[in-house]
Amino acid sequence: MEEEEPAEIPDALPVMVLGGATLFPHGYMPLFIFEQRYRDMLSYALERERMFCIGHAIPGIDTDDHPDPIYPMTTVGLIRACVTHPDGTSHLMLSGLQRVEVLGWEQTGPFRIATVVPQPSRVDNLTRVANAALELVDLSSRLCGEGQPMSEQLREHLRGVSDPAAISDVVAQTFLADPDQRQALLDTLDVEDRLLRLIEHLSELLAKGQG
């Protein structure tokens, strides 16, 4: 199985700062854009690569005044679809592309633009990683259906994914609800480590009778 291929990521990208929000590579996030600064950010992104980052705001700080209001590891998202309404607000769908680390800020207002560097996933032992990925897909399938976190459509999609890194991120986007757990997994570059953490999490869900 191959590792994820890094996307073509610019050296600097806009950042939308959101509390408790984490977008994973291979995941999707619907957004409603209404603040003027993010309307400006959206226009900026649409005129360029159609990309911006979702920055998970650090709890307990003033994100407008703090010099570094987000966790350094974030995800570049690609605007897959966007509908702008007559009042200037927009609905869009963001698709996660690649983990990146924020190195600094080129601009802080009216919206933030960060200097970023891609952080590809790591696979040290292909056999162990492949086996863990298969186990995770099996566990995910047992938490699928009506009233469960995973839809039948997403389960079929996951069964067709061959990249263990992508499997870990799709499952994380679907099953992890706690913001701290989500950020911790986003920070984890080793794919085997991500898979094993998710196997433990889904096993706990099944043990609690959620499967």
Q: What does the pLDDT look like over 126-178, one tens digit per residue? A: 999 999 999 998 888 888 766 565 666 666 666 667 789 999 999 999 889 99
Q: Mark whether 102 and 139 lie in a shared domain.
A: no
pTM of the model: 0.86
Query: Which of 150, 124, 125 minimizes the C-alpha distance to 136?
Result: 150
CATH number of the domain bearing residue 141: 1.20.58
Which residues form the domain of 203?
A: 126-207
Q: Mark whether 114 and 130 lie in a shared domain.
A: no
| Percentage with pLDDT > 70 across the chain | 88
Helical H runs in 117-163? 126-141, 152-159
Q: Mark whether 21 and 54 lie in a shared domain.
A: yes
Q: Is the pLDDT of residue 102 over 50?
A: yes
**Full DSSP string of 65-107:** T-SS-B-SEEEEEEEEEEEE-TTS-EEEEEEEEEEEEEEEEEE
Q: What does the pLDDT look like over 167-202, one tens digit per residue? A: 999 999 988 999 999 999 999 999 999 999 999 999
pLDDT at 1: 35
Tokens of 205: 């869900």
Eight-class DSSP state of 62: -
* pLDDT, the chain, mean: 89
Q: Mark whether 24 and 106 lie in a shared domain.
A: yes
Would you say residue 28 lies in a domain? yes
Measured in residues, the chain has a length of: 211
**Number of domains making up the chain:** 2
| Domain end (from 102, 118, 134) | 118
Would you say residue 75 lies in a domain? yes
